[in-house]
Amino acid sequence: MTKYIFVTGGVTSSLGKGIISASLAKLLQARGYRVTIQKFDPYINIDPGTLNPYEHGECYVTEDGAETDLDLGHYERFLNTPTSKANNITTGRIYQNVINKEREGAFLGKTVQVVPHITDEIKRNFRILGENGEYDIVITELGGTVGDIESLPYIEAVRQFRWETGSNNSLVIHLTLVPFLAAAGELKTKPTQHSVKMLLEYGIQPDILVCRTEHHLTNDIRKKIALFCNVNINAVIESIDAQSIYDVPLLMLKEQLDKTVLTKLKLPHKLEPDLENWKDFLGRLKNPTADVRIALVGKYVELPDAYKSITEAFIHAGAKQECKVRVEYIPSEQLTPENAVEKLKGMHGVLVAPGFGERGFEGKIQAIRHVRENNIPFFGICLGMQCAVVEFGRHVLGLENANSTEMNPDTPHPVIGMMEDQKTITHKGGTMRLGAYPCDIKKGTKAAAIYGKNHISERHRHRYEFNNDYLKQYEAAGLIPSGINPDNGLVEIVELKSHPFFVGSQFHPELKSTVANPHPLFINFVAASLAYARKK
């Protein structure tokens, strides 16, 4: 029978429930258990796809085309196993499912209420991944903090679920804060006590407390928390601020979080966790032999979480190359023909980031012109690739006012245009080209050398594509399509023949980079930037 772990948060948001969930899952996976993690978000949007990245960070896309919370990126990067649309559920989706059933007459005329109908739908979604026989343990992270109005149905659903499944089949880990008051010179446990008290009011006794802290918990503080929160002292887990999120699994191993969980779920401890590859990655991450400065040119750079998967992909690729990648965020709106050279001075590589809309578009064009003309390594992702196509059209092919129809529907040279099957769509949510699609790579190209194979699959999230009417012109001038979708002939990868590294991808390679398998495009971009740095 599948066992269930629920991770709740208290006192404040942003304590790191996603990292704790991913770290615990990593430890259990390293002991030989089949583990997955799901995230339940209390907001009413159907999915994060329509949210501004400033609101919620990046939108992470799964293999099956679900637009999900960025925490799913952590799950995949830690576990090296893909997630799916079943791994991220929002209140909006829960209510939509219930309302659809009500419209179909599924409730036989009953009054539809939060309890039992909404809580039943939440519990049904808790179980989906556990009932397919693929997992021994399902970890469910509940977004928000205990006490939030929107979180209440989830907490109630957990209470009911635990009562229905019986003892030893589920447990609750509550992540809380033990703040340090500088004026008093001590750690304070009262916020944790209040948070647990609130959970108890809702009928849930947490089994394990993970305490986020800036200072080590003394034995006396652990005893105090255990006494006032009704947990064993070995179930008070310290989660101290870490140098890197990738240190957290080892910190949790030291605190024996995985052992405590297995004991409470009455599961055998199996093997000691095999974390040799993880430790090897950390060793290379912390002991670089070189460093490079890479500019990330984008429109959401004030919030680094908007590009979370990209920055993590740089960490994975940097460790592979034993190189510290210093990502420097440059707002694309601030780049002009006059200042682009100055703003990008000292950079060993430039990545032009994905995004939507006109803001900052011309700044990205200026960045690409500078790196193309000066042989600086360039990597463009999605809109970044489209910008490279527009820049090349304007300044090499002489196509005056070439543009994407997203930015200018009346451009005389629509080198980037909306896909035919997107033109009739009026609904915004979940209607883009989403998820994994195949790509055939041309032999003898840089892309073929990077991937080492001719058939790949990558994840997408976009509405606009390279306009194949201009394909022969671009090829003749040296910007070649080195990756093509075999089903519809759409261009997936472009590269510049006469440049040390100038590659643009219509897909999002950062979504498939993990600790165990850094993405080859990022590895090679970092290597090219390193080679450029050594020449300087």
Catalytic residues: 382, 508, 510
H helices within 31-90, ranges in order?
53-56, 71-79
Say if residue 200 carries a ligand binding annotation: no
Say if residue 63 carries a ligand binding annotation: no
Identify the CA nearest to 13 among candidates 151, 181, 184: 151
* Type and span of the H or E element at 24: helix 17-30
Say if residue 483 carries a ligand binding annotation: no
Say if residue 17 carries a ligand binding annotation: yes
Q: How many CB atoms lie within 10 A of CB 21?
A: 26
Say if residue 384 carries a ligand binding annotation: yes
Say if residue 351 carries a ligand binding annotation: no
Say if residue 293 carries a ligand binding annotation: no
Residue 192 backbone phi and psi in degrees, to 5: -65, -45
CA distances from 108 to 103, 105, 124, 159, 484 (A): 10, 6, 19, 26, 51
CA distances from 58 to 16, 70, 71, 309, 428 (A): 16, 6, 10, 8, 17
Say if residue 184 carries a ligand binding annotation: no
Q: Give the orientation angle of helix 91-104 with respect to helix 119-128, to 10 degrees.
A: 110
Report which DSSP code applies to 415: E
- Check if the beta carbon of residue 511 is closer than 8 Å to that of residue 459: yes
Say if residue 182 carries a ligand binding annotation: no
Say if residue 385 carries a ligand binding annotation: yes
Say if residue 220 carries a ligand binding annotation: no
How far, in Å, CA of 339 to CA of 401, rounded?
21
**Amino acid (1-letter code) at residue 188:** K
Say if residue 406 carries a ligand binding annotation: yes
**Amino acid (1-letter code) at residue 506:** Q
Report which DSSP code applies to 452: S
How far, in Å, CA of 34 to CA of 59, rounded?
26
Say if residue 13 carries a ligand binding annotation: yes
Say if residue 15 carries a ligand binding annotation: yes
Say if residue 463 carries a ligand binding annotation: yes
Say if residue 14 carries a ligand binding annotation: yes
How far, in Å, CA of 73 to CA of 78, rounded?
9
Phi-psi label, residue 444: left if phi above 0, alpha if psi -120 to 50, beta otherwise: left
Say if residue 193 carries a ligand binding annotation: yes
Say if residue 150 carries a ligand binding annotation: yes
Say if residue 190 carries a ligand binding annotation: yes
**Amino acid (1-letter code) at residue 314:** F
Q: What is the dihedral of CA 351, 353, 359, 365, to 10 degrees?
A: 40
Say if residue 383 carries a ligand binding annotation: yes
Say if residue 441 carries a ligand binding annotation: no
Rg (CA), the chain: 25
Question: What residues are designated binding site for UTP?
Answer: 13, 188-193, 224
Question: What residues are designated binding site for L-glutamine?
Answer: 54, 355, 383-386, 406, 463
Question: What residues are designated binding site for ATP?
Answer: 14-19, 71, 242
Question: What residues are designated binding site for CTP?
Answer: 13, 148-150, 188-193, 224
Question: What residues are designated binding site for Mg(2+)?
Answer: 71, 141
Question: What residues are designated binding site?
Answer: 13-19, 54, 71, 141, 148-150, 188-193, 224, 242, 355, 383-386, 406, 463
